[in-house]
Structure 1
């Protein structure tokens, strides 16, 4: 059980975080769990937010799960293509290179890449092209079903990226801070698919190139295994923070309706630092 002083200090921390978030126009959700003490901090943790690229972690989990089940090997190769089918009516669409953070991937169209390398690009530079190729391989609905087995009951992995017909109909991938916390906690405990697979996925997440949210204001020696997401008005980050002394915690930062995205990113980085500071006593 938590002592009263702990409960009191976590309430104080929550108030301070809410005050910090209130300085920026937008809506936020936070989920935090100290994996040593079990202490949590939640703000709007069950609200559904647009997933943006945070849904790529569930896709990676499904890739590793199907590889473990023998459907393919991570070392198997797939031809890189840029034609996908809308979940609305099966009509074809392609991705726009200018909307993709991983533009190097487009030089690979028509060539082969391993499933592992596609997964790596999907996570570390958030390649939309790699994501859609992998969703074609493993199926969004299977990734969704796997989330349910992990206790993430509200995540919706419906489709690949830039399916504009689906977007117009509001058929979007959604997450809650609580569900992302749940899957990252299980990854940290190395119980996702297998110990070896969990370690393999964490290794990829540790190579994340977009570091302007959770890790931005943390000391250099703190390691973060995380996956970001952003679209207009939305800035998300979710992952495991490893302290040099061996302690670890999970933090999920979600936002929407941001009028000023730069300020939104800044405030999320500050909240991440506040959570880190709360453990330095």
Structure 2
């Protein structure tokens, strides 16, 4: 692993971002990190513990997966999923969780979070030893903070004001400063995923539900971009001004499982930054390959015949 950290630094330098990485073998002791204990902005990666809290409550019988909940118009921020719907919306909790994790639906997230409770999510994280991770609220709280900092009445006005900020001004916004917003670390995030994949984060039924939904994520441009067909990817992206993240589990065709969390902070924030997106996949691949190199008996991707199709 001696060459992995310099390679990671080179990937992030080329992309113009500061990177934070932690990867671990879920079924073994190998681990690799780069600035893994520095606080980071989670952005929508926080939806993983929200989903876990929901699944644990469902497994305990304290809520029903088929409960139907309206998605109030004030929660709809014009984004994707129910967030962008013009007409009344009502879905079951499990379908709201599906939209929350697979496409990062903000309105669905806030309905689920309201049902399970913010305090319960934070207590769950603390109970699992993830004491570097803390949620300050839901998506509406993060967006409200951004609007307040910008003095904007709505998201359209916020976008115009964001475009006029210098990079330093952008990264000083509350939602961009870990200590002032929903936060975590790369290590905490990857360790939480490892606990979910080992059925240590709650009842096996709950952990399996989170794994299954994360495996259906629709975005292939970050973590998945580092891995060819044959790997299975279950992940959750996160995006806020200047921050592009993804955390997930990479499963090799031979069954090896690796929890990976990559967080990037841009030197020059851009609304679209494909270089930073690609850097997440490249960094994840470097980390996974380095972990696999510690187990010489593990076959390499090229030796696998007829691998299963990738799940992005």
Shift of 1:275: 2.5
Shift of 1:45: 1.0
Shift of 1:165: 4.2
Aligned CA RMSD, in angstroms, stands at: 1.9
* Counterpart Cα distance in 2 of 1:108 and 1:183: 36
Find the counterpart in structure 1 of residue 183 from structure 2: 174
SS of equivalent to 2:85: helix
Give runs of aligned pairs for residues 25-174 of structure 1, distance below 5 A: 25-83=16-74, 94-97=75-78, 100-102=79-81, 104=82, 106-107=84-85, 110-163=88-141, 164-167=143-146, 168=148, 170=174, 171-174=180-183
Higher helix share: 2
* Counterpart Cα distance in 1 of 2:66 and 2:243: 34
* Counterpart Cα distance in 1 of 2:124 and 2:95: 22
* Counterpart Cα distance in 1 of 2:70 and 2:250: 35
* Counterpart Cα distance in 2 of 1:244 and 1:106: 37
C-alpha contact (below 8 Å) 1:32/1:42 kept by paired residues: yes
* Counterpart Cα distance in 2 of 1:128 and 1:78: 15
Shift of 1:220: 1.2
* Counterpart Cα distance in 2 of 1:258 and 1:266: 16
C-alpha contact (below 8 Å) 1:226/1:240 kept by paired residues: yes
Shift of 1:273: 2.2
Shift of 1:76: 1.3
C-alpha contact (below 8 Å) 2:77/2:107 kept by paired residues: no
- Normalised by the size of structure 2, how large is the TM-score? 0.78
SS of equivalent to 1:236: strand
Shift of 1:47: 1.3
* Unaligned residue ranges in structure 1 (runs of 5+): 1-9, 84-93
Find the counterpart in structure 2 of residue 91 from structure 1: none
* Counterpart Cα distance in 2 of 1:25 and 1:190: 37
C-alpha contact (below 8 Å) 1:141/1:158 kept by paired residues: no
Give runs of aligned pairs for residues 201-220 of structure 1, distance below 5 A: 201-220=210-229
Shift of 1:247: 0.9
CA 1:270 to 1:193, structure 2 compared with 1: closer, same or farther past 3 Å? same
Shift of 1:172: 1.8
1:105-124 per-residue CA deviation (whole Å, 9 max, x = no partner) reads 54385342100000010000
Find the counterpart in structure 1 of residue 5 from structure 2: 14
- Normalised by the size of structure 1, how large is the TM-score? 0.86
C-alpha contact (below 8 Å) 1:80/1:108 kept by paired residues: no
* Unaligned residue ranges in structure 2 (runs of 5+): 150-173, 175-179, 293-298, 301-312
Q: Which moved more, 1:123-132 or 1:170-179?
A: 170-179
